[in-house]
Structure 1
Amino acid sequence: MSSKMEYDYEYKYIPVAERVETYIIPVIFLLILIVGVIGNGILILILLRHTSMRNIPNTYVLSLALGDLLVIVTYIPFTLFVYVLDSWPWGLTICKLSEYAKDISIGVSVFTLAALSAERYCAIVNPIRRHVAGLSAKPLTVLTASLIWVLAIVIAMPAVLFSEITSVPVLGNRRILICNPFPEEFGEIYRKSMVMFKFLAYYLIPLCVIAIFYLSMTWHLTLSTRNMPCELPDSDLHEQIKARKRVGKMVVCFIIIFVICFLPYHIYVLWFHFNPTAMDDFNSYWNTFRIFGFCLSFINSCVNPIALYLISRTFRQKFNKYLCCCLPGGSTVCGRNRTESSITQGNIILQKSRRINETSASTIRRRTQEFNSTGVFEMGSIETKLPVVTENRSRK
């Protein structure tokens, strides 16, 4: 809600007990809170505890999960009670901090997705460019993730500096309090400028960057399927073509999720603040659309771990292991899973050692590049069979 609503709020005010969203929003926000805390919490735990998961893309995934967890913990609980209590009950400090945390989280999320798309593009299209340039991959990634947080914190500063508690008259002499990110003394120009700036910085520009990198990567993967070695067996060729198409579909899904989660919210905000007759045209349809876009933008904070669970077999196995430990009788299952995992990892290490000793130097370099591209997204599965084919050909 903004200060623009104050002038007509007295006539459009509906008591909190008579609103449908009073009973729907708390349930939705509670589900987002539970799913988001569990999903992002386990994802962060997995990336911090398992050294095998500490690679370049997972550094960005960790930053993304931290940003999502920040907005879930610091903003959603306070906003949930606003729909139940009608007036803002938390005071000026919580108002400033909640708005600040929300903007930081959105900035970290979209900037990290843009950086992750750039990293994925470089890893798939030209994986040796970074090594040729003499850059150290992991320190550079940590530095980039840190700069993303600094940028998000700086851009979100107006929220913590200028957010205020506004008193709005309703139903005659009664007044309610709202947490208003747009101070009245700054006027309409500041409000419209901030709305447009957030639309560009938090949505349009990052979306263009993500779309360019992901579509370029998808195009590269599609073309590369036409240039597969003719010596490969038909079954191997078919399997690798399917793997590359699956990666292409995956990156397109991330673009669609990003658009769906944030587009309705920005449509409503732009319409409300830039349409001169918005207050007169505001009706039950626009109120429903506003609530839908508001909820969908926060659902994005808990949907990323779900997407990774469906896409990544590695993350799914580790997530199930941590989740079963929290259930009754889960300690026995977890112990058995740890034993099986240790045996499996031992076999994998032995197989890798044999392949490294038997393959050529070019094969070793290619496998190193694949390892840098693996992790939660399991990009390395695209090329995993090429060293075996090379080995068989060398023996012949």
Structure 2
Amino acid sequence: SGAGGAEENYTPYGERLETYIVPIVFACILIVGVTGNGVLMVTICRHANMRNVPNTYVLSLAIGDLLVILTCVPFTFTVYVLDSWPFGLLLCKVSECAKDISIGVSVFTLTALSADRFFAIVDPMRKLHATGGGKRATRFTKVIATLIWLLAMICAIPASFSYLRVFTVNKNVTFTTCYPFPEEFGPSYPKIVLICRFCILYLFPLAIIAFFYILMARHLMQSTRNIPGEMQGQVKQIKARKKVAKMVMAFVAVFAVCFFPQHVFMLWFYLNPNAQLDYNAFWHYFRILGFCLAFMNSCINPIALYCVSGTFRKYFNRYLLCCCCTPTRRRTSIINSNRRCQSFSFTTSRRHTSSRRGQQSAINLPIWNPSNVSDTRGRSMPQEQETTVTIFQNGVEQRT
């Protein structure tokens, strides 16, 4: 939001490359983001074994990402496609607020996850982190997640002041855009908001996360040296916690990379007094890169989780490939079921015919017997009831 080149460098939207590339990128973000985060939410909500403390935070991340995808992505990309914002004031405010709420939920949740991983590894006897799946730990996590959303909403209050601002490029060209910094708040307002946003939603949380991970790495190196070789259970537990820590670190790295270009551009543009004159092709495409990466963060988390977590990968494959694999799986299930039945019948037959010369395998084939017959033990069978008769065919004992 809120940047434009010098008047003499203005190029009509129809002649810009980004007019055709950005919609394709955002269409991919929409499809991948809705699918990935949707499957992630279904996986955690439907399977009881996936409901633990770290996955509660992951669910919160997915909800925040889905919020920004559904409320921002279908509308915000028009900044690079249309001359003016076509959706009105309400959607302007909603999209800006949803974007800031999602950013806040992401970074605060990642901070909470990092703290949770730190205490799970350094102080595993605590009951309020992921080492325990008890009700107390779950309630505590839900309270923290709720507070994170409230804090993110508070941080998004400045976005609620967004309005439709008219910019004049030259005497022939004017356009209306969704602008987050009201003019009546003064020229210093954008600088204050951007600096606070950079510190609260990027710099400070990442510094706290880095602090937790440095202490965590130090503790793991020390504990690995001190663990006797025979304490294999403790070694496996530490390895499992390391896997979750790596998953969180992947999320943090994705967030840091995705939002760094946007913060750099916004700070440069609003803090540099000569930004309007210095704005050139490099800064223009750097701005587009930051714009796309910031929204791309909302669809990359499920991909990162798929890569680093074997458990989530299993569920993702089940839900994403079910349409293609359902007929094959059905046939395979039927075949396997028949094989299990045959194996069971074979075992049963061996038990009953062990005293006979030349043990035979048995396959149970129920039929309808309309007349009185005798079974292998000479007992009379009533009419019109389902029964089993043993016969020999091709060296195999079959019950019919």
Q: Is the shorter-chain TM-score for this pair beyond 0.5, marking a shared fold?
A: yes
Which has the larger share of strand? Answer: 2
Name 1:386's counterpart in structure 2. Answer: none
Pairwise CA distance, 1:265:
1.1
Contact 2:247 2:309 (8 Å CA) reproduced: no
The structure-2 alpha-carbon separation of the partners of 1:198 and 1:224, relative to structure 1 and needing over 3 Å to count, comes to: same
The alignment covers a number of residue pairs equal to 331
Would the alpha carbon gap of residues 334 and 11 (structure 1) be closer, same or farther in structure 2, given more than 3 Å must change?
A: farther
Match of 1:285 among 282, 288, 292: 282
- 1:317 is aligned to 314
Instruction: Report the Cα offset of residue 13 of structure 1.
Output: 2.2
267 and 323 in structure 1: CA distance in 2 versus 1, 3 angstrom threshold? same
Q: Distance in 2 between matches of 1:312 and 1:163?
A: 40
Call closer, same or farther: CA 1:219–1:23 in 2, change over 3 Å.
Answer: same
Q: CA deviation at 1:252?
A: 4.5
Pair 1:57–1:240, CA change in 2 (3 A) = closer
**Which residue of structure 2 lines up, in the alignment, with residue 59 of structure 1?**
56
Distance (whole Å) between structure 2 residues aligned to residue 285 and residue 156 of structure 1: 30
Give distance in 2, aligned partners of 1:42 and 1:187: 45
Residue in 2 that maps onto 1:70: 67
Instruction: Give the superposition deviation at 1:218.
Output: 2.2
* TM-score between both structures, scaled by the size of structure 2: 0.76
CA contact (8 A) 1:221 1:244 kept: no
Report the CA distance between 1:299 and its aligned residue: 1.4
The answer (yes or no) to whether the contact 2:110–2:248 under 8 Å persists in 1 is no
Deviation at 1:127, TM superposition (A): 1.9
Amino acid at match of 1:174: V
Residue 129 of structure 1 and its aligned partner are, at CA, apart by: 2.7
Does the 8 Å CA contact 2:120/2:241 hold for their aligned counterparts? Answer: no
Structure with the higher fraction of residues in helix conformation: 1
Tell me what 2:150 maps to: 150
2:254 aligns with: 257
Q: 1 CA distance for matches of 2:21 and 2:291?
A: 13
Alignment-mate amino acid for residue 196 of structure 1: I
Gaps of 5+ in 1: 341-396
Distance 2:258 2:119 in 1: 26
Return the alpha-carbon distance in structure 1 between the equivalents of residues 290 and 167 of structure 2.
24
Amino acid at match of 2:326: G
Correspondence list, 1:290-369, <5 A: 290-325=287-322, 327-328=323-324, 330=326, 333=329
2:96 corresponds to 1:87: no
Asked if the contact 2:44/2:55 (under 8 Å) is kept, the reply is yes
- Structure 1 residue 231: deviation in Å? 3.0
For residues 236 and 83 of structure 2, what CA distance do their matches in structure 1 show?
57
Task: Measure, in 1, the Cα distance between the counterparts of 2:246 and 2:142.
Answer: 28
Note the alpha carbon deviations across 1:165-193, whole angstroms, 9 max, x for none.
Answer: 01112342332110000011112111111
The match for 2:42 is 45
SS at match of 1:231: coil
Q: Paired residue for 2:194? A: 195
SS of the residue 1:86 aligns to: coil
SS of corresponding position for 2:124: coil
Instruction: Please name the residue that 2:29 is paired with.
Output: 32
User: Matched residues in 2 for 1:96 and 1:48: separation?
Assistant: 31
Q: Is the 8 A contact 1:47 1:53 kept in 2?
A: yes
The question of whether the paired residues in 2 share the 8 Å contact of 1:321 and 1:334 is answered with no
Q: Which moved more, 1:172-181 or 1:58-67?
A: 172-181
Amino acid paired to 2:152 = A
What is the rounded CA distance, in whole Å, between the counterparts of 2:242 and 2:141 in structure 1?
Answer: 27
Give the aligned residue type for 2:193.
M
Distance across 2 between alignment mates of 1:143 and 1:250: 22
1:266 to 263, 266, 271: 263
Tell me the TM-score normalized by structure 1: 0.77
2: CA distance, partners of 1:102 / 1:246:
30
Q: Structure 1 residues 83, 102: closer, same or farther in 2, change over 3 A?
A: same
Match runs of 1:205-220 below 5 Å: 205-220=204-219
Question: What secondary structure, in the 3-state scheme, does the structure 1 residue paired with 2:229 have?
Answer: coil
Q: Check 1:331–1:190 CA distance in 2 against 1; reply closer, same or farther (3 A cut).
A: farther
Change over 3 Å in CA distance of 1:238–1:54 after alignment to 2 = closer
Q: CA deviation at 1:258?
A: 2.6
| Distance in 2, Cα, partners of 1:143 & 1:237 | 30
Q: Does 2:20 match 1:23?
A: yes
- How much does 1:135 deviate? 9.6
319 and 131 in structure 1: CA distance in 2 versus 1, 3 angstrom threshold: closer
The residue type equivalent to 2:291 in the other structure is: F
What secondary structure sits across from 1:170 in the alignment?
Answer: strand
Structure 2: 5+ residue stretches without partners: 337-400
Rounded to whole Å, the distance in 1 between the matches of 2:201 and 2:152 is: 10
Kindly state the Cα deviation for residue 117 of structure 1 after the two structures are TM-superposed: 0.7
Q: How many Å apart are 1:223 and its aligned residue? A: 2.0
What is the root-mean-square deviation of aligned Cα atoms in Å? 2.8
> 1:2-42: CA deviations, max 9, x gaps?
2x75xx65433210011111111111111111111110000
- Residues 103 and 13 (structure 1), Cα distance of their counterparts in 2 relative to 1, 3 Å cut: same
Q: Is the 8 A contact 1:222 1:245 kept in 2?
A: no
Question: What code does the residue aligned with 1:47 have?
Answer: I
Q: Is the 8 A contact 2:121 2:241 kept in 1?
A: no
